[in-house]
Chains A and B, each alone.
Chain A
Amino acid sequence: MIAVIPTAKPEGPLRPQERSLAPLGMTALLFRAVAVIALVVGLASFARAETPDAALAELLKQARTKVPAECTQPHIDRLIKILCAKKIRIGIRDYYPLFAERKGDKREGYEVDVALAIGRMLGVDVDFVRVNAANRIPLLAEDRIDLTIATMGHNTQRDGQARFIRPHYYRSETTVVGPRDLPVASMLDLPGRTVCVTVGNGSNAELVSQGARLMLFDEAGVLPDRLKDQTCTLAAQDDSFFAKYFTDEDFNARYFQKFGFAQVPWGMAVARQGSTELARALDLISQVFHRDGLFVDIGRLHNIRLGFLRQQQEVWRTPECNTDAGTANPKCILPPLNTALQPTSFAPDVNSFEQWVEDRTGIDLTLPMLKTMPAWSLFKDGVFYSLVLIAGALAATLAFALVLGWAMGSRTFLLRWPARLLTMALQSSPIVLTLVIAATIAHGLFALSTETVLGAAIAALGLTNGANAGQAIGEAMWSLRAEGAQGGLFGRALSRASTQIVAFLVNAAKGTPIASFIGAPELLSSLTDITSFSSGRITTYSILLIFYTSVVMVVVWLCGRLKHTLEHRQAAA
C-alpha cells in the first residue's frame, strides 16, 4: 500500500519528463486515480491498525473465522480453543484480600473483576479455577487453565516458565510496616533492627544487605497478629497484602507504612506453548484497559493503591505507546524484576552431588549456600566470623576471669567489692540482655559496623563467663589463704579453679551463636539470611548444628588439655 505513494504527484503544469507520459492519455489518468484511491485506502487502514483497539478487533475477527471449523484441530492456539468453548478458564486465588477472595460461591476483588472484564472483551464466559502460589504456573503448562491472574510478580526467573502479559496489571512493592511512633523512615534506620518476613520473599536479601535482622515466618497471614502482640516491631511484606489491614481503623491508627522498596510488576500469564494469539489479544486488552482507565476504576472499587495504575494510564495515553506496537516498545512496558542470582562456578557439581545423595539414600539434600554467589559469600563470612567470635569469646573470658579473679581475691576492699558487685550483676542478667546492653553501649560510642557488633558480643560473652570463672579464682585464692598458703597464690588459685575456668570457657564457646541476636554476622545469622531467599532449610540448619557442636567439641578438647596443664602445675606445686 505504501509503495504506491511515490506515484502520486501534486497537480500542476506538466514538466518535460512528464510530458513524455502524456501520450498515455486515459491509461495514465486511470493509473493515477487508482494510485490515489490506493493511497487513501492504505492510509485509512494504516491508521486503523495503529490503534490497539483495531488490532484487537482484527485479531479476534481473524480468530472467529476459524470457529467452528478448526475447533477439533490439534495444536490450535488457545484463543481459538477459548472461542470454540465460549469460555476462558482463569486461575485465581481464593484468599488474597482486596484482590481475590471467595465467600461461598461469590468471588470478589480487583483480579476477579479484571478477569470478568477480559471475558467480556473476548465475548466468552469466565470459569474460575482456584490456584495458589505453587501451582499457578504448572496449571498453565498442564492446560488446566488458560490464563492466570493470581498476584504473580513478573520476574526474570518466571519469564522462562510462562508468557507474561504486558502491560502489567498492577505493581506491588515490599513495604515495611511498624508502629506509627517508631522512628524508622528508610533502609538507613534498619541496621540492628529485627524485621519479620516470610520465608522465600525475594526482597529478604535486600533487607539483609542493609543490616536488618530477619525473623522468619512461613505465612504472611500471621504478620499482622505478630505486630499486634508485639512479637514483631517491624514487618515487611507486599503492600498489596497489607492493603486490607490498613482499611481497618484500629490497625491504621496504630501502624504506618514506613517505606517501600523492591517494586515488582504483577503480570497475568498464559502458557508459553500454544498461546501466541491469546497472549497477543491479552496484551492489547491490557493496553486498552490501562489507556481507558478501566484498571483504575476497578482498583478504586476495591480500595487498592492506585498510584501505579494512574501512572500507567498516563503512559498508555501517549501517542508513542497508544499503538498496536506499544506492547513491544521498551519505553512503554516495564521490565521484569531481575531476581537471578549469580551461580557459583561449582554450582553444577553441587547439583550433581545432591542428586547423587538422593539417588543412593533417598535424602533430599539441598545446599543453597554453595549454589549462588551471594549465598556462598554469606556462608564463607559466617564461618569466618563464627571462628573469630569463638576465639574472641575464649580470649575475653580468660582475660576477664584473670582480672576479676585477681580483684575478687584481693585483700583490698576497693578492688574486691566492685568486682563482686559486677559479677553479681552479670550473673543476674540473662545473656540476651547482657548482649543487648553491650550492643546499645557500643552503638552509643561507635559507628555501627561489623567490628563494633563483634566487639560488643565478645565483650558480653567474655564478661558473663569471665565473671563466673573469676569468682572461682577469687574463691580459690581465699581458700588457699585460709589454708595458710604463702607465695604464688594467684598461680595456685588458677590451678585450683581450673575445672570452673574450663567449664566457663566451654560455655563461652557454646554461647557464641546467641551473638546473632544483636546482629553479629556469624554462621547462624548467615544461614538464616540464606534460607530467607532460598530453599533447603532442613539441610541448612542441620549443617549449622553440626558445625557448632563440632567446634564446641574441639574447644572442649582444647580446654581439657588446658585443664590438664593447670592441674599438672598444681600437682607440681
Chain B
Amino acid sequence: MNELRELLSSDFLPRFLAGMAVNFEIAAIALVIGLVLGLLLAAGRLSGGLVTAVTVSIISLMRAAPTFVVMFFLLNAIPRDATLFGSPFVLSGVMTVALSLVPYSAAYVADAGVDSIRHLRAGATHGAFLFLPNVTRAFFVMVMSSSAGAAIGVTEGITVILRQAEQLPSFDDRLVLFALGIVLFGIPLQAGFMLMSLFQRRFGRSTVEEEASA
C-alpha cells in the first residue's frame, strides 16, 4: 500500500488528467468528422432510390466495423511514405484512434440524423432537438472507446493507469489503482449521461406535448 500512497502523492493525477484530456480530444475529433459524414449519409438515406440503397449498405458496413480492427488497419495499411496533395501524410496516434471511431460516429449520427430530419418534417421541433443529447451520448461512448489507443501507445487516461500499475508489485495495490481509474472515468461519464437524461426527459416531455398539440 506504501507504493500506492507514494504513487498518489506523486504527479499521477496531473498525468492522468492530461491523459484523459487526450480521450476527450480523440472523441471530439471523431465526432466532428462523424457529424459531417453522418449528416451526408442521413441525407443520402432519405433521398430515395439507389442512393438510399447504397447509403444503407454503407451505414451497415460502418456499424459492423469493429473500432479496434479499424484502428490497426489504419495503422498498418497506410504506407509510411504516403502523400496527400503532395504533402507527407502520416497519421499520429491520436488521429489514428480518432479515425477508427469515425465509422461508429458517422453511422450513429446518420441514424440519429434520419430520426431528427423525420421529426423536423413532421413539425416536431423538440423531437428533432433530441439529436443533440443523442450525439452527446455518442461522444461519451467514444471518450470511453478511445482507451483503445492504449494498444498503440497513445498516452491517454487508461495508458497512464496501466503504466502506473506496472510499477506496483502488489496485486491488491493494482486493483485499488484500477478502481480509482473507474471512479475517475466514471465521474465525468455518469455526470454527462445524467445531464443528457435530464435534457432528454425535458425534450421528450416537450415533444410529447408538441405532438399532442399538433
Q: Among the listed A215, A433, A517, A540, which residue makes an inter-chain contact with B185, where contact means beta carbons less than 8 Å apart?
A: A433
Q: Closest Cβ of chain A: how far from B181's Cβ, in Å?
A: 6
Are the CB atoms of A541 and B77 closer together than 8 Å? yes
Residues from chain A with Cβ under 8 Å of B72 in the complex: 524, 528, 541, 544
Whether a CB of chain A sits under 8 angstroms from the CB of B83 is: no
Q: Mark B152-196, 1 if CB is under 8 A from A, else 0.
A: 110101110111011101010011001001110110011001000
Q: Closest Cβ of chain A: how far from B173's Cβ, in Å?
A: 11
Are the CB atoms of A436 and B153 closer together than 8 Å? no
In chain A, what residue has the closest Cβ to B146? A430
Are the CB atoms of A425 and B182 closer together than 8 Å? yes
Distance of A550 Cα from B170 Cα, bound (Å): 42
Residues from chain A with Cβ under 8 Å of B144 in the complex: 430-431
Whether a CB of chain B sits under 8 angstroms from the CB of A395 is: no
In chain A, what residue has the closest Cβ to B79? A538
Whether a CB of chain B sits under 8 angstroms from the CB of A328 is: no
Stretch at the interface among A141-149, A301-309, A480-488, A507-515: A507-515
Distance of A441 Cα from B178 Cα, bound (Å): 11
Distance of A513 Cα from B66 Cα, bound (Å): 8
Stretch at the interface among A90-98, A225-233, A312-320, A397-405: A225-233
Main secondary structure of the interface of A (DSSP, over half): helix
Are the CB atoms of B150 and A432 closer together than 8 Å? yes
Q: Closest Cβ of chain B: how far from A516's Cβ, in Å?
A: 8
Distance of A183 Cα from B165 Cα, bound (Å): 13
Query: Which residues from 418 to 444 on chain A have a C-beta closer than 8 Å to any C-beta of chain B?
Result: 424-425, 427-433, 436-437, 440-441, 444
Q: Among the listed A218, A510, A541, which residue makes an inter-chain contact with B64, where contact means beta carbons less than 8 Å apart?
A: A510
Whether a CB of chain A sits under 8 angstroms from the CB of B69 is: yes
Are the CB atoms of B80 and A218 closer together than 8 Å? yes
Residues from chain B with Cβ under 8 Å of A511 in the complex: 66, 68
Residues from chain A with Cβ under 8 Å of B163 in the complex: 230, 233
Distance of A229 Cα from B163 Cα, bound (Å): 11
Residues from chain A with Cβ under 8 Å of B159 in the complex: 231
Are the CB atoms of A432 and B148 closer together than 8 Å? yes
Residues from chain A with Cβ under 8 Å of B67 in the complex: 510
Whether a CB of chain A sits under 8 angstroms from the CB of B65 is: yes
Distance of A242 Cα from B199 Cα, bound (Å): 56
B150, B152, B182: residue with the most chain A Cβ atoms closer than 10 Å: B182
B79, B147, B186, B193: residue with the most chain A Cβ atoms closer than 10 Å: B147
Whether a CB of chain B sits under 8 angstroms from the CB of A275 is: no
Residues from chain A with Cβ under 8 Å of B166 in the complex: 182, 233
Residues from chain B with Cβ under 8 Å of A512 in the complex: 66
Distance of A229 Cα from B18 Cα, bound (Å): 14
Query: Which residues from 65 to 85 on chain B have a C-beta closer than 8 Å to any C-beta of chain A?
Result: 65-70, 72-73, 76-77, 79-80
Q: Closest Cβ of chain B: how far from A190's Cβ, in Å?
A: 13
Are the CB atoms of A433 and B182 closer together than 8 Å? yes
Which 6 pairs across A and B sit closest by C-beta, in order of nearness? A428-B186, A231-B153, A430-B147, A552-B64, A432-B147, A513-B68
Additional pairs, 10, CB under 8 Å, beyond known A429-B186, A437-B178: A181-B167, A182-B166, A428-B185, A428-B190, A512-B66, A513-B69, A514-B68, A514-B151, A524-B72, A549-B69
Q: What are 18 A-B pairs with beta-carbon distances under 8 A?
A: A196-B153, A215-B152, A218-B80, A230-B155, A231-B153, A430-B144, A430-B158, A430-B185, A440-B171, A440-B175, A510-B67, A513-B66, A513-B68, A524-B72, A531-B76, A544-B69, A545-B65, A552-B64
